[in-house]
Every structure is written in structure tokens, then in C-alpha cells.
Amino acid sequence: MKFKYLSIVLIFSLIFLACSKSSISAIEDDDNDGVLNSIDNCPEVANPDQEDANNNGIGDACEFIEDDDNDGVANSIDNCPEVANPNQEDANNNGVGDACEITELNKIPCENGFAGVYPCNGYDLLMSISLDDLDFSSTSSNNLAGNDSWGWTDTTTNHEYAIIGLSNGTAFVDITDTDNPVHVGNLPTRTVNSSWRDIKVYSDHAFIVSEASNHGMQVIDLTQLRDISNSPRILAADVEFTEFGNAHNIVINEASGYAYAVGTGLYGGGPVFINIQNPKSPILEGGFSEGGYSHDAQVVNYNGPDSDYTGKEILIGSNGERNGINEVVITDVTDKQNPKKLSNISYSKEGYTHQGWFTEDQRYFIVGDELDEYDGNVDNTRILIFDLLDLDNPVLLSEYFGPTTAIDHNGYVKENTFYLANYRAGVRMHDIANIASGTITETGFFDTYPADDEPLFNGVWNVYPFFESGKIVVSDIEKGLFILRKQ
């Protein structure tokens, strides 16, 4: 009985202690803000008014809340976190606050299959500039035409520039704000006018060649564009490299710092090797004639599936008319004094092997033949897909036929999209995610030549899709410069 009594006493003692502890806890206020711990949303930091901007049950005083624009609305729930908008106005209910939504006044959206007068699918027109507005030289004529295009991003200012070739020179346009584009200036042709001009960029310099007689290569430092006022200006080349005469095209491997002029009067029209690691002091280091005349090429530091050539500098040429044969020629140009041809591959119904571009994994090479549609060898736009699993033994994987009869021109790959300048059919965009099966699928287009899609040489010459902003530069032979963006 005695032990039973002690047990009962012990139990009641424990209950009393527990209750006492609970009572003490209930009246604790560790941060001395007048709010008891039991109901304080931030018990260790004084916050007598219990502010909780995002209503998550944790007081603002002890929750790190980002509010970059100091408008009293936390970034996590602010529909415009970088511009003060305490009332969160959103007139079009798109989730982006009115205070930071850019109204693009020049933009013509693609709606119901058209952006203004231009047929389209999935791509809006942000702005355009006519040839007349791009040209201000005293030598202008009714024969002024557009040709190649490229782009440059100034990493100091983050401004984006479109560079467009004209028959009488090269125009430079700041397209950072497409509502207020700035035509900065023009670099005149070095000798005479020409329908052919080609541009590439390396290390903040543009390198420009032309079919114009004795034109050579112009080099212009692009950083000067950021400081030009009272534009547009007549610009001058920083370097005039004249160790070859005319050239049809120029290719640059940014990873190695080499330019390759093709279609010159040297080395049978094969690639001419130019060291441009110091852009203002280019050095001719030889060339390669064994593959014949090269119309265009791509050169990469190879990291594709053929381990025999990992780390080598590989040139893939679109070579026209070597002994009457059009073909793709693969060359190891790592050693400029001893380049080695690895392989070549031709295909049926060829007209003129024009240009090609690697997929980003360097497995497949996508090639356009410029004259197969024009000559009637094929009915619709044809794109050839080569499998380069083995650089010594390339294989034609498949052929893609587009929806129109237009001629294909230049094509480039960004991620899983192949962008094709398609002359009278405008610029066409294709999904290449399933290219391993030989399949590419057209997913969008913007047609700058609405009249027809005949296989003739009008309309889009080139497309540059590599701006991080998503802006797409399109050069049109008759109409000038277009800037697009995917919807």
C-alpha cells in the first residue's frame, strides 16, 4: 500500500511539473516585444506589429525578404520586381506589371498567319529598315541590293548590333532597342560594288570580304560603334588585308583564332589560312587546294563522336565543281603547313553545293544545294543531312523536302533549331531534335517575299539567329534588314 501511495504521489508531481513548465512557456517573450512566444510569428527578433508581407506565417523581421525595388512587395510575389509598383497594376492580366512591361511600338505580331503584309508562322516582326534607309553614300544607284548579314554583342554595354552587307559596303545598326534602332554607320566597299559580300566576327572585330575586284579583307574594330554620335557615319577599316584579291566568303573558327577565306584566286579557290589572333595584324599562313574550289565552309575545334580527331581543327567545305562534281569535303587543318584531306562525299541530282552547318553535337552536317531547285533537279526545297559519325567515311543520312519550290541559301543551327534563309520563301525554322532518324520538321517561318515562292534569286539572303536575347537578324536582297523574334 505504501508503494502504491508513493506511485500516485510521483505521478501527480510529474503532472504538476509539466503544467508548471507549460504555464511558464506560455508567458515567455524571448524578444521582449510584448508578443508571447506561443503566438509570435518571429519569437527571437522583436517585431511587435507582426508584419508578414507574403502571408507565409513567418514574420518579416526574421525572414530575409528580397524587395529590390523597395515598393513593399517581396520579389517572390512582385509582378515587376525591379521597378517600384506597389499597387501591382497589370492592365492586360499577363502576370507582368505595367511598370516594367516594354511596349514595343515597332513590333508587328504574327496574327492569323500574317505580320502586316508578310506571311508568317510563330515569329513576330520587331522592326525593319529599308535599303534606302541603310544607305547614305553618294554612289547609290538603283542597283543597290542587300546580301549577307551577321551580328555582334558588345559585352561591355550589352548592346546588340546587326551587320548587313550591301552591294556598296556594310551597314552597322544598333538593334538593342528595336523601337529606337540606331543606324550607326557604313563601311564603304574597298574597291568597287558587288552583289556578293560576306561578314564574320571575332574578338570584337568584323572581317569582311567581297567578290569585288581586289577587295581583299576589311577588318574593323567594332568597339568604336559604342562611342559614335551624330550617326550614321562613314566608317573606315582599321586594316585592309590585300594578300588575296576577291573572295566569295570568309569563315572564322573563334576557338582557334583563324579565318579561312574561300573562293579566292589562291589555292584553286580552296581555303586560305589567316591567323587573326591579333585581329589588327592578320597573317597569311598557307592554304589548301586538294579539295578544289570551296564556296563556303565551317571550321571547328572538333569534339564530335569520331575520337580519332578529338581536339583537331576540322574544316567541312561545301565545294562546288571540282572536276564537274559538287561535294562535301572534310579536311584536318590543324597543321597549317600540312593540311590533310580526310574524305569527300557527293550526292545525286546536285546543282551546286552551297553551304552547311554542324548540329551542336558535331554528329550531323546539314547542307543546302543552291541550284538543284533552280535547275529543276528537284521539285521543292531540298536539304541534305550527312551523318559524320566517322569523318573518314561520311554518309548521306536523308533528304528533307520543304513545302515550297524556293531555293535554299544559308542555314545555321542553334540548339535544336535549324534556321534556313530560303530566298523567296523567306526564312524557315525547323525542329531537328529527331535528326538522328533523318527527320527535320518545319515549325515556323517569316516570308519577306509575299508575291510567290518561285525558285528565283530574290528575298532572304541570310539569317543570324545567335543573339542571346532571341532577336533574329534577316537580310533581304530587295528590302533590307528585318529583326524577328519567336513568339
Mean pLDDT by runs of 10 across the 487 residues of the chain is 46 48 62 84 86 81 75 85 83 72 79 97 98 77 88 97 97 97 97 96 98 97 94 96 97 98 96 98 97 96 98 95 80 98 96 97 98 96 98 98 98 98 98 97 98 98 98 98 97
- Global pTM? 0.80
What cell does 108 get? 508587328
| CATH superfamily, with its number, for domain 114-486 | YVTN repeat-like/Quinoprotein amine dehydrogenase (2.130.10.10)
How many CA atoms within 13 Å lie on the side-chain side of 286? 10
Position 17 scores a pLDDT of 46
Domains of the chain: which residue ranges? Answer: 114-486
Position 26 scores a pLDDT of 52
Give per-residue pLDDT as tens, 152-182: 999 999 999 999 999 999 999 999 999 999 9
Position 130 scores a pLDDT of 96
In angstroms, rounded to a whole number, what is the distance separating the alpha carbons of residues 125 and 107? Answer: 6
Give per-residue pLDDT as tens, 429-483: 999 999 999 999 999 999 999 999 999 999 999 999 999 999 999 999 999 999 9
Position 323 scores a pLDDT of 56
Phi and psi at 419, nearest 5°, equal -100, 125
Position 25 scores a pLDDT of 47
Count of other CB atoms within 10 angstroms of residue 51:
13
Sheet containing strand 325-332, edge to edge, reads 294-301, 313-322, 325-332, 340-346
In angstroms, rounded to a whole number, what is the distance separating the alpha carbons of residues 192 and 101? Answer: 46
Among 199, 208, 212, 189, residue whose Cα is nearest residue 139: 189
Position 139 scores a pLDDT of 55
What cell does 54 get? 507574403
Position 42 scores a pLDDT of 85
In angstroms, rounded to a whole number, what is the distance separating the alpha carbons of residues 373 and 476? Answer: 20
Query: Is the sign of the CA dihedral 292, 294, 300, 304 positive or negative?
Result: negative
Position 443 scores a pLDDT of 98
